[in-house]
Amino acid sequence: MTDFIRIGLLLYPGCMPAGLLAFADLLHAANRRLGRSRFQVRYVALRAGPVDCTHGVTLAATGALGDTPLDAVLVPGFWAESPAQVDELLLTQTELIAVLASRGRRCGLWSYCTGVALLAASGRLDGQSATVTWWLAERMRQRFAKVHWQSEQSGVFNDRTATASGVNGYLPIAQHLIEQIVDAETFRDLARLMVLPRPALAHPAFQGVSLMEQSSTLVRRLHALVEGLPAEQITVSMLASRLGMTERTLARRVRDEAGQAVAAYARRIKLNQASERLTLTSAPVTTISLELGFSSDSNLRRMFKAVTGLTPAEYRQRFSRL
């Protein structure tokens, strides 16, 4: 039995490698803290050699995924702006998915961000809970019904699998690993030295909801329109009319480009506005409800808890930046 853990950092065309690099740095620092190599990391791919990642970055895999002895594999996310693009990536990576599926059950499979779709396609998440970012949740539930998808949790850790949402999802996976193998104090020290504090801590329900993060022209127009309207006045027919299209066309395009029904997406935008006021101001819920045009503060409270699992007061206590 070895006294170290062999972890493969998976490279594949179009993957976002920044999280892999940060993950490797954290484990290297943990080794330095321990004074020995408790964690051994190696970049792997379908085949050894250069791999073209996203945004023109090329990294070298030193081993083939199917032939390299590993205790765990970390699968990063890939650049995608809609559920349709996730579907396209899965179609191009059938060989990689098959190799992931063939890894022995003793090999842990971890993933974050959109990379969880690759694990789901491999079948290794069947019958287990796993995270999924909100805009991809409905498509993943349709395609991989055997997985217990959790869009309200930022990380899920099972016996041989781990999933985390968002492009920074490598961090909770690294935290869980270091705390389990070393101790919590070591991770706290490393995080304080190496991890930049996030400018704002957001609930998973609102990750990727800001107007700044939308790349689709239609979604940006819809987003700006919804933000400027009172919540009580928003209907699908009114939105379609303002955007110059039929309700059916709007529904189809929003589902394809944002991964949600129009009404659900509009509701999330308004509730995100409420969440920002809760974290950035001390305004009472009644005032926030009036400013955003909800029919009543009780209606806002009900909708807010349905999406976040928290009352506005609980949300403010947990996420306030004041």
pLDDT tens digit sequence for 136-151: 888 999 999 999 998 7
Burial of 228 (0-12, 13-18, 19+ CB in 10 A): exposed
At 208 the pLDDT is 66
At 70 the pLDDT is 96
At 199 the pLDDT is 46
Q: State the Cα–Cα distance between residues 86 and 148, nearest whole angstrom.
A: 19
Q: State the Cα–Cα distance between residues 37 and 30, nearest whole angstrom.
A: 9
At 1 the pLDDT is 41
Instruction: Find where tokens 């808890």 sit.
Output: 305
The low-confidence residues of the chain, meaning pLDDT below 70, are 1-2, 152-153, 196-202, 208-215, 321-322
Report which of 88, 82, 77, 97 is spatially closest to residue 19, judged by C-alpha positions: 77
Give me the residue spans of the domains in the chain: 5-194, 204-319
Q: Where are the beta strands (DSSP E) in 204-286?
A: none
At 202 the pLDDT is 66
CATH domain 5-194 topology:
Rossmann fold (3.40.50)
Read off φ and ψ for residue 164, nearest 5 degrees. -145, 145
- pLDDT tens digit string along 156-202? 999 899 999 878 889 999 999 999 999 988 988 888 888 765 445 56
Q: Are 243 and 251 in contact (CB under 8 A)?
A: no
Structure tokens at 60: 């070298």
Residue 107: CA atoms inside 13 Å, Cβ hemisphere, count? 22
At 200 the pLDDT is 52
At 283 the pLDDT is 83
In CATH, 204-319 is 3.50.50.60: no
At 214 the pLDDT is 61
